A and B are shown apart, each in its own frame.
Chain A
């Protein structure tokens, strides 16, 4: 908390600088189009002031101004019915549900895999290299195909997208948990040995508690990457709902403001998801008596 307050001012300055650069870029990038309009309307007595104002009020700007995006977000969230297809809340919910389902399956799968890897030398030797190799494969590239193929097989809606999230999110969990389950020190394992504790006892009393911090660290990465998976899963043809679909539709029709608002919704969602996991992390560690 102390550190957060300590950093607040520098963060605000950095954010302010970014916003300022953004506004400058808005004028710079949108001006050619605006000048073109003036020329076609034979409007020669435009002022710089007017130009600046006009560049921030275009319908389909090259780069929308921050306040345009804010207005769009406001209009599509608060002023629209949440069940409406034009509501950003609706699209965010579609993406969120796929993200959470994929994240949940991925985490469970990751933990199970990590436990078996830690307890079986054969699993460690044969599966672990492939778990790592699986991530050097740009799996997101398969995303559209998985969606289309699963659609053809009669599976549609939430699950195919969630499967992509699962694939992406299981990896950090496996790697983090394998590390965590092995993080108990030699001396502590030896202590358990002197009690002749069973494998299950060693697991529940030593390995699992010492792996929990690693689990949360991995889950933070997993939930963020889960969201990316769900969004990309919404890109392929025919996707009608979700933030990914909004991005794609926006790019088809040149609706830059819509793209940016979807982008910000995604960013906000990511930040929320990560901080919820962070909060859970703090609560659990507090209950376990560990210093967060």
Chain B
């Protein structure tokens, strides 16, 4: 055990012991008894038993088990308790330390088998993510945070499931129309322009600095203009997306087309290969990592562009529209449900592009390691 692990283990058990002595919360205005929250007692017992680690070795998954019991106990206690007390928060802190200890010990393992290693790099962040959600739930409900400020995840989840039809319509309007069409047009046209000006060093020298400057600009600001030009429906949002995705792709594609080495180009010259042959067989494949870099950047930019553009006017549908109107009505849980959709869509979009990248640029050192 490292010093940090010993410290975490000691503190976690200590906090659980202290928690037993403090008021756990109130039920019906009077202090609740620990007997009302049996799983928390179980958690405390396990936490104290885990001190045995100082005599003999305990498997990391033992800490995982204690953590899960604690989480179940804390969540179920919320049903009984009306107001959480100091003891309850001590349990929360203790369980949080167990989670930390668990993650710390789990990531200290260096499994040899690649499959196990993959599982490790999946489980560890997953535990962290789930813990954030649990902590969010415990804090918002345990201390009765007003739901307009921050609704608990369970409430958002319920709202999500209850409003699937609305969410689906909004998703169609914003993602399937504005984002995907704008993304394809913006990235595609930038790639074509990059290939076109690639033959002229003069244009490259002129356009590259301008393109670099423009991609650092807050292009999102053109949204109101596009809404004015193309109307309230999705074409104006797609236009914003086109403009936002154009310059990152242009700059990356120009840089990428210059990636092939002098020797590789000389080789094509010795074959008396034509311009298009060199482009297809050498320069585009060599540019692929750069092009995919832009595609990944653009996948997030596109979603941001489409949603923000909807703040400037929409028909009564769309993710951005929903967010801005529901905020006005203080229906914060609906806003969060919409954000969850955006987060899922954004991550999935990025993930798919990243997967295609892995398949296409399998040869690149950054991928093949």
| B is a partner of A | yes
Residues of A bordering B, CB below 8 Å: 6-7, 9-15, 18, 62, 121-122, 124-130, 133, 135-145, 148-149, 152-153, 220-221, 224, 227-228, 231-232, 235-237, 243, 247-248, 250-251, 254, 256, 259-260, 262-263, 266-267, 270-271, 274
Contact stretch, chosen from B186-194, B207-215, B250-258, B285-293: B207-215
Determine whether the beta carbon of B108 is less than 8 Å from that of A121.
yes
Closest 9 CB pairs of A and B: A10-B206, A251-B224, A14-B206, A126-B128, A125-B107, A129-B125, A136-B350, A137-B343, A10-B205
Contacting residues, chain B, for A228 (C-beta < 8 A): 218, 220
From B120, B220, B313, residue with most partner A Cβ within 10 Å: B220
* Chain A interface mostly: helix
Determine whether the beta carbon of B216 is less than 8 Å from that of A126.
no
B107: nearest chain-A partner, CB-CB = A125
Determine whether the beta carbon of A259 is less than 8 Å from that of B202.
no
Contacting residues, chain A, for B100 (C-beta < 8 A): 122
Contacting residue for A135 out of B221, B300, B323, CB 8 A: B300
Determine whether the beta carbon of A10 is less than 8 Å from that of B203.
yes
A231: nearest chain-B partner, CB-CB = B218
Q: Kindly state the separation between the CA atoms of A12 and B209 in the bound complex, as whole angstroms.
A: 11
From B149, B204, B218, B323, residue with most partner A Cβ within 10 Å: B218
Determine whether the beta carbon of B217 is less than 8 Å from that of A141.
no
17 contacts between A and B (CB under 8 A): A7-B206, A7-B209, A11-B210, A15-B210, A122-B103, A125-B106, A137-B343, A138-B300, A140-B304, A152-B149, A231-B220, A248-B224, A251-B227, A251-B312, A263-B222, A266-B221, A270-B218
The answer to the question of B324 belonging to the interface, with a C-beta cut-off of 8 Å to chain A, is: yes
Count chain B residues whose beta carbon lies closer than 8 angstroms to a beta carbon of A.
64
Q: Kindly state the separation between the CA atoms of A145 and B150 in the bound complex, as whole angstroms.
A: 11
The answer to the question of B307 belonging to the interface, with a C-beta cut-off of 8 Å to chain A, is: yes
Q: Kindly state the separation between the CA atoms of A21 and B194 in the bound complex, as whole angstroms.
A: 19
Q: Kindly state the separation between the CA atoms of A250 and B203 in the bound complex, as whole angstroms.
A: 35
* Chain B interface mostly: helix
Contacting residue for B228 out of A237, A256, A270, CB 8 A: A256
Q: Kindly state the separation between the CA atoms of A231 and B304 in the bound complex, as whole angstroms.
A: 13
Q: Which of B102-134 contact A (CB under 8 A)?
A: 103-104, 106-108, 120-121, 124-125, 127-129
Contact stretch, chosen from B30-38, B156-164, B327-335: B327-335
| A127-B128 contact, Cβ under 8 Å, with A11-B209, A11-B210, A138-B303 | yes
Determine whether the beta carbon of B210 is less than 8 Å from that of A122.
no
Contacting residue for B311 out of A14, A235, A250, A270, CB 8 A: A235
Determine whether the beta carbon of B327 is less than 8 Å from that of A145.
yes
Q: Which of B334-357 contact A (CB under 8 A)?
A: 335, 338-339, 342-343, 346-347, 349-351
| A232-B220 contact, Cβ under 8 Å, with A13-B206, A138-B304, A148-B327 | yes
Contacting residues, chain A, for B167 (C-beta < 8 A): none
B310: nearest chain-A partner, CB-CB = A141
Q: Kindly state the separation between the CA atoms of A197 and B108 in the bound complex, as whole angstroms.
A: 23
Contacting residue for A141 out of B148, B222, B307, CB 8 A: B307
Determine whether the beta carbon of A227 is less than 8 Å from that of B218.
yes
Determine whether the beta carbon of A141 is less than 8 Å from that of B304.
yes
Contacting residue for A130 out of B129, B150, B303, CB 8 A: B129
Determine whether the beta carbon of A11 is less than 8 Å from that of B206.
yes
The answer to the question of B308 belonging to the interface, with a C-beta cut-off of 8 Å to chain A, is: yes
B216: nearest chain-A partner, CB-CB = A224
Contacting residues, chain B, for A133 (C-beta < 8 A): 347
Closest Cβ of chain B to A199, distance in Å, is: 13
B129: nearest chain-A partner, CB-CB = A130
Contacting residues, chain B, for A250 (C-beta < 8 A): 224
B197: nearest chain-A partner, CB-CB = A14
Q: Kindly state the separation between the CA atoms of A236 and B307 in the bound complex, as whole angstroms.
A: 13
A238: nearest chain-B partner, CB-CB = B328
From A135, A149, A250, A262, residue with most partner B Cβ within 10 Å: A149
List 16 extra interface pairs beyond A137-B346, A145-B339, CB under 8 A.
A11-B210, A121-B107, A121-B108, A125-B125, A126-B124, A129-B121, A138-B307, A138-B342, A141-B339, A228-B220, A243-B221, A248-B312, A256-B225, A256-B228, A263-B222, A274-B216
Determine whether the beta carbon of A153 is less than 8 Å from that of B324.
no
Closest Cβ of chain B to A165, distance in Å, is: 12
The answer to the question of B138 belonging to the interface, with a C-beta cut-off of 8 Å to chain A, is: no
Determine whether the beta carbon of A144 is less than 8 Å from that of B323.
yes
Q: Kindly state the separation between the CA atoms of A240 and B201 in the bound complex, as whole angstroms.
A: 46
Contacting residues, chain B, for A237 (C-beta < 8 A): 324, 328
Q: Kindly state the separation between the CA atoms of A37 and B320 in the bound complex, as whole angstroms.
A: 36
A131: nearest chain-B partner, CB-CB = B125
Q: Kindly state the separation between the CA atoms of A228 and B220 in the bound complex, as whole angstroms.
A: 7
Q: Kindly state the separation between the CA atoms of A9 and B202 in the bound complex, as whole angstroms.
A: 9
Contacting residues, chain A, for B363 (C-beta < 8 A): none
Contacting residue for B225 out of A12, A18, A153, A259, CB 8 A: A259
The answer to the question of B319 belonging to the interface, with a C-beta cut-off of 8 Å to chain A, is: yes
| A14-B210 contact, Cβ under 8 Å, with A248-B312, A251-B224 | yes
